[in-house]
């Protein structure tokens, strides 16, 4: 009787603490991703993507790994000629995205873990070639992967101190079939 009562109390305590009775693992809500985990998530985007914004602008983004898979290069093609590039990499324990804008400035944004792992959020850290904070520049962005294989990306630019943002939905462009 005492042993049964003790097992019941242990099971009740385990449930209250969120520990499963089938093992010692905690059943916790997904928490924020550490920077290294966020970088691994970004690496899963390798390939070519077609994006469409809320205002129906279309563009392509290509994700490629370089430097022994320690750097992710995003190449953005907005039309036949203008391109921009964002380079993602670890900097110690921080995940950094440096955006090389056609306007000639290079904001560096840092991944900021959120309370859940639903999206990867980057905020302004500093910039090179940005003579004044009122000059147009990328100030933050977030990425959210969807279960259907698409992803959303929202970018916020500051111009004259005023934020403006837009979200795009991306679908993967299938790789060309190999022809014999």
The CATH number given to whatever domain includes residue 165 is 2.40.128.20
Are 66 and 125 within one domain?
Answer: yes
**Can you give the C-alpha Rg of the chain in angstroms?**
22
pLDDT of residue 25: 40
Query: Which pLDDT band holds residue 136 (cuts at 50, 70, 90)?
Result: very high
Classify residue 26 by its DSSP letter. Answer: B
Residue 179, domain member (yes or no): no
- pLDDT value at position 24? 38
pLDDT at residue 23 greater than cutoff 60 = no
**Do 18 and 66 belong to one domain?**
no
pLDDT of residue 13: 33
What is the domain extent for residue 8?
Answer: 1-30
| Under 8 Å between Cβ of 125 and 138 | no
Indicate if 146 and 160 belong to the same structural domain: yes
Residue 102 placed within a domain: yes
pLDDT at 5 over 60: no
Residue 43 pLDDT exceeds 60: yes
Same domain as 87, residue 7: no
pLDDT higher than threshold 70 for residue 179? no
Looking at residues 138-153, what average pLDDT do you find?
A: 95
Q: What tokens were used for 114?
A: 């959120």
180 in a domain, yes or no?
Answer: no
Asked if residue 63 and residue 4 are part of one domain, the reply reads no
Q: Indicate if 56 and 13 belong to the same structural domain.
A: no
Which of the four pLDDT bands, split at 50, 70 and 90, describes residue 22? Answer: very low
For residue 3, being part of any structural domain is answered with yes
The reply to whether 84 and 134 lie within a common domain is: yes
CA-angle at 136, arms to 133 and 139, nearest 5°: 70
Between residues 1 and 110, which one has the greater pLDDT?
A: 110
3-state secondary structure of 39: helix
What is the average pLDDT value for the chain, to the nearest integer?
A: 84
Note the pLDDT tens digit of each residue in 88-133.
999 999 999 999 998 899 999 999 998 777 899 999 999 999 998 8
Question: Residue 30 — very low, low, confident or very high, per pLDDT cuts 50/70/90?
Answer: low
For residue 86, which of 45, 114, 116 has the smallest C-alpha distance?
Answer: 45
In this structure, the answer to whether residues 44 and 117 fall within a common structural domain is yes
pLDDT in tens, 155-169: 999 998 899 999 999
Domain assignment present for residue 177? The answer is no
Q: Answer whether residue 152 is part of any domain.
A: yes
- Domain total of the chain: 2
Task: Tell me, yes or no, whether 80 and 20 share the same domain.
Answer: no
Mean pLDDT of 31-43: 94
Q: Are 106 and 100 in contact (CB under 8 A)?
A: yes
Residues 44 and 125 in one domain: yes
Same domain, 41 and 81: yes
Q: C-alpha distances in angstroms, 55 versus 5, 49, 118?
A: 64, 18, 24
Judge if 1 and 58 occupy the same domain: no
User: Any residues with CB less than 8 A from the CB of 29 and at least 6 apart, and which?
Assistant: 116
Q: Which long-range contacts (CB under 8 A, 24 or more apart) does 118-123 make?
A: 118/144, 119/143, 119/144, 120/33, 120/38, 120/41, 120/42, 120/144, 122/95, 122/97
């Amino acid at each position: 009787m005492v042993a049964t009562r003790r097992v019941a109390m242990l099971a009740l305590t385990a449930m209250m603490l969120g520990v499963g009775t089938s093992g010692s693992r905690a059943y916790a809500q997904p928490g924020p991703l550490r920077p290294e985990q966020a970088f691994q998530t970004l690496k899963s985007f390798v390939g070519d993507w077609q994006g469409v914004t809320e205002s129906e602008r279309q563009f392509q983004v290509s994700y490629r790994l370089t430097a022994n898979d320690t750097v992710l290069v995003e190449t953005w093609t907005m039309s036949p000629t203008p391109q921009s590039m964002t380079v993602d990499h670890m900097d110690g324990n921080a995940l950094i995205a440096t955006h090389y804008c056609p306007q000639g400035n290079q904001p560096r944004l840092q991944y900021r873990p959120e309370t859940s792992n639903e999206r990867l959020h980057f905020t302004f850290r500093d910039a090179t070639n940005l003579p004044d904070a009122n000059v147009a520049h990328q100030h933050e962005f977030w990425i959210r992967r969807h279960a259907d294989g698409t992803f959303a990306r929202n970018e916020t630019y500051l111009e004259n101190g005023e934020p403006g943002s837009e979200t795009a939905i991306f679908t993967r462009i299938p790789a060309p079939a190999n022809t014999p």
